[in-house]
Amino acid sequence: MRRVVFFSDRAGAKPEFRWLAVKDIGEPGEPSEWPDWKSILGGNLTPSMFAFNENRIIHAKLDTSITMMYDDNFMYDYDDQNPAVIAATNRKTMRAWRGPIFAFSTKMNEDFSDIAGIGDMDLHQYTDLVAWLIYHGNTSTAHELRTGTKVQGAMMHCSSEQSEAKIETIMVPRMHPIFEVEHGAEVCGISENIGMPLLLRKDRKTPKFIGELHRPADPSHSNSTLTAMMTSCDPDGPHQMNFGLTPRHWQGGQVPDTLIVRQDREDLDPHVLQAFGDYCEVVLQPGFKRTAWPWKEAFASLAAEVLENMESEKWSSYLATWKSLREEVRPDPMQVDPQAAAPEGRSLRSQSKRKSVHFTDNDVYAGEMEPAGVDGKKQRVVYQRPTGYDEDDEEPDVKPKVEPFDAEMDGTMKVEDVDEGSDANMKMEPSEDNDEMDTT
């Protein structure tokens, strides 16, 4: 007996796994097996079969082949399309399959002309089978967008997520439901205006979020950046009064972990997404708030000011500035190289107030905890005892370096404020551009 996938032609049918008897019809030195097709398709038809060994959607070769068996006269002897195939492919097939169909895992002989052995179908092979049903004979433009390698997207975590990285890179299949608006994805209006349309889809697997569409707000399901990104921005639409407001289901307490991709199926750089979130919160939100309670006469001019900042040119300029400042001022929060030198001088001072960190290793002078590195471990910025430091100098003589921190190897630590009189309390005067940053 072997497990096969059966597509029944009865009304309302769905794909199902069935057990099917297999006959050994081989000869010495030439193994061959054959399925008992009559017990599943019926005896009053002429069987035909087709074998393939590639998932054409993702361009991947299969470890074993898959063979479909169906009625050779399926185009003429049946009135309706196979409902199980329609359900499995979500109506994305170009060929109108009719009549009963089943598929099984096969090992073909060297010239791919005969079945040497039959195995059990599993869910991975079922996915490859559905991909073939969708791909076969499909020349539509929409289908071309579904084929190819996975797309880089991002998972933006809510406040209940314990992960340090609030934006996580995710590889998304091109046929993922997020690319179908009717399957729960939503278009970010602001991103459309700047020429980078994004699709967002809430992660239904987030704890305390399963199956409750009208649930009480959970404070842990919040993300101010996502709330700002989904602010309504169409002043001329049917919901003009919502301009500058965020739909209730994107407000605090209603926002779980959310998957985000580009609607054009191009890769989404997580840093660009982070910059876009800052753009929505820092640049656009103040303008949106000013439109909240004006008289009708003032609304149009205030909304126009917001829309002027919501253009592709303004966004491109902001993104370029954001990238240059990120490289100059702050380390990458999503990827820190444990072996690379820490940013020098002013770059380090964008971090939180320095603490004196005393380890069991007496050679360590002081340091600060840094974001996790690519290996997931904490890091510390280590300062050796300064020598030749002159308060008139713009920078101390000793530069910091980054080392990986391992509690088991480096021992325990305690954190306390640096004493005012300590020579660790290095200070810097603000630069001429009045960039007053905390340098202690």
Does the pLDDT at position 416 exceed 50? no
**Residue 70 pLDDT grade (very low, low, confident, very high; cuts 50, 70, 90):** very high
Ranked by mean pLDDT, which of 85-94, 294-303, 348-357 comes out on top?
85-94
How far apart are alpha carbons 243 and 260 in whole angstroms? 23
- Tokens representing residue 318 in the block: 């902001």
Q: What is the pLDDT of residue 326?
A: 77
CA 328 to chain CA centroid, Å, is: 27
For the range 273-276, what are the long-range contacts, defined as Cβ-Cβ under 8 Å and sequence gap of 24 or more? 273/154, 273/156, 273/167, 273/198, 274/167, 274/333, 274/334, 275/318, 275/319, 275/322, 275/323, 275/326, 276/191, 276/196, 276/198, 276/229, 276/315, 276/319
* Greater pLDDT, 259 or 220: 259
Mean pLDDT for all residues in the chain = 73
**What is the DSSP track for 282-314?**
IIIHHHHHHTSS--HHHHHHHHHHHHHTSSHHH
Residue 400 above 80 pLDDT?
no
DSSP assignment of 348-401 = GGGSSPPEEEE-SSTT--EEEEE---TTS--EEEEEPPP-S--TTSSS-SSPPE
Residue, of 409 and 106, whose pLDDT is higher: 106
Residue 422 has pLDDT above 50, yes or no: no
- Greater pLDDT, 5 or 343: 5
Q: Which of 5, 10, 12 lies closest to 78 in space, CA to CA?
A: 10
Residue 134: what are its φ and ψ, rounded to 5°? -75, -40
Q: What integer pLDDT is reported at residue 384 of this predicted model?
A: 42
pLDDT value at position 328?
Answer: 64
82, 9 in Cβ contact below 8 A?
yes
Can you give the pTM of this predicted structure?
0.51
Model pLDDT, residue 98? 92
Query: Quick check: 147 and 130 in contact, CB under 8 A?
Result: no
232 vs 114: which has the higher pLDDT: 232
| Separation between Cα atoms, residue 222 and residue 329, nearest integer Å | 28
92: confidence class by pLDDT, cuts 50, 70, 90? confident
pLDDT at 196: 95
Q: What is the largest CA-CA distance in the chain?
A: 98
Q: How many residues appear in the chain?
A: 440
Per-residue pLDDT at 399 exceeds 50: no
Rounded Cα distance between 374 and 212, Å, is 36
